[in-house]
Structure 1
Amino acid sequence: MTHSERYTSRSQQWDRAKRLLEALIFSSPKPVSEEEIKRASGLVGIAIEKAVDEINSELSDHPFEIVRTGEGWEMRLKDEYMKIFYRLVEPELSKAELKTLAIIAAKGETSVSEVLRLRGGAASNHIKKLIRMGLIKREKRGRRTILSVTEKFNKYFMLDKTG
């Protein structure tokens, strides 16, 4: 094998690893860990960052990018497109549901009875919807039912818990 053939082979391997990385991150419903990337593409450590930088350069004219979060790597809309997108899309949550969610998030965790006391009986349906959406979870503690936000809540509202 000549030097040129070896270079072409390495270049093709690199391109393939990058495409596998891009496909994995694009198709994953959750952030992709470095271990998952290693298993899928063979890339590790600084090579992942280099590949992501190259992919993002290739995507510079596109509305999405690959970013590192506290949970791993994910593809998402760039900020300038996010603002436009959210103005155009019908909100998933009503203002009343958002107020109920805000109480739970602000308190960290709170009882169902406290939320109902603060928000009224309609909050019962809000709680059910928020649980179905995976934004809050319900936990039984003795006779009390405690509500708290989930990791999906953090992702939904783009809150990064890494610092």
Structure 2
Amino acid sequence: MEEKEINDSVENSRTITELDSTSDVKNMRKVEAALFISGRWMSMKELVSLTDVNPVLLRNVVESLIEKYASEESSIHIMTKDNEWKMDVKQEHMDMVNKLATGSSEFSDAEKETLAIIAYKQPVKQSVIVKIRGNKAYEHIKNFVNLGLLKTKRVGHTHELNLSQEFYEYFHVGKKKKEIILNSDVNKEEILNSAQPTHPDGEEVNINNPKKSNLENKKEVVMDKIDDNSETN
């Protein structure tokens, strides 16, 4: 009788262990999927809401995932910052990723134009961007703010726009290029000044070549300056 009770106890203990192990695996897969799909920094609150994993358990799961990817010969790793986590490609593979990403984006060409101007004029008032890009800029800016790419500060009747740290991470901008963007000696007002006539939708027109927008010419000047600075650093 005693032997049977001992066997039953061992069997029950094994079953509980297996259940715990299965639960851990499921939790790990859910958190891993959430980080993979989001492609951005995620807080504890967001991960708990998405995965329904207990906060205490979730932290253990994330730590296990960090160890997993650190120990494997993987091109992926999980980064930690101020109690937030993000799954991303390791730095040594960034050049390849950037090449693959060229030409494909979740942003429209119009949105990319708007973001480019903000990047080179920052800090810049929203009203200035709207003057250059037209009313469509309001929706673009709202989208960028929701994605965390821009920081806004109320200034009078408008907002002042700045790039956020998330912008540099989202577009895999290295430290040197970030410093160039922030400290470039390019005369931004001269390069991006809206002096040419515009289409009804706000796009600038190059009088000498109507098929090519004046903004495109200006962007080329700025990008050439950035590339030159990058090569010298």
TM-score for the superposition, normalised by structure 1: 0.60
Structure 2 counterpart of 1:19, from 25, 29, 35:
29
The runs of 5 or more residues in structure 1 that have no matched partner are 117-122
- Is 1:73 the counterpart of 2:85? The answer is yes
Structure 2 counterpart of 1:110, from 98, 106, 124:
124
Question: Could you say which residue in structure 2 is the equivalent of 1:90?
Answer: 102
The superposition leaves residues 79-119 of structure 1 with CA deviations (integer Å, 9 ceiling, x where unpaired) of 1221211134326657xx74751331xxxx33468x78xxx
SS of the aligned residue for 1:41 comes to coil
Q: Residue 22 of structure 1 contacts residue 55 of structure 1 at CA under 8 Å; is this kept in 2?
A: no
Once superposed, which parts of structure 1, at least 4 consecutive aligned residues long, lie more than 6 Å away? 137-140
- Is 1:101 the counterpart of 2:114? The answer is no
Structure 1 counterpart of 2:163, from 146, 149, 152:
149
Provide the C-alpha distance between the structure 2 equivalents of 1:87 and 1:11, rounded to a whole number of angstroms.
Answer: 40
Root mean square deviation, CA, Å: 4.0
Between structures 1 and 2, the one with greater helix share: 2
- Is 1:50 the counterpart of 2:72? The answer is no
More off after superposition, 23-32 vs 8-17: 23-32
Question: Could you say which residue in structure 2 is the equivalent of 1:124?
Answer: 132
Q: Percent same amino acid at aligned positions? A: 19
Higher relative contact order (CA 8 A, sep 6+): 1
SS of the aligned residue for 2:160 comes to strand
Counterpart amino acid of 2:77? Answer: E
Q: Residue 64 of structure 1 contacts residue 78 of structure 1 at CA under 8 Å; is this kept in 2?
A: yes
- Which structure has the larger Rg over C-alpha atoms? 2
Q: Count residues with an aligned counterpart.
A: 146
The runs of 5 or more residues in structure 2 that have no matched partner are 1-8, 106-111, 174-233
SS of the aligned residue for 1:85 comes to helix
Q: Residue 110 of structure 1 contacts residue 147 of structure 1 at CA under 8 Å; is this kept in 2?
A: yes
TM-score for the superposition, normalised by structure 2: 0.46
More off after superposition, 62-71 vs 74-83: 62-71
Provide the C-alpha distance between the structure 2 equivalents of 1:144 and 1:53, rounded to a whole number of angstroms.
Answer: 42
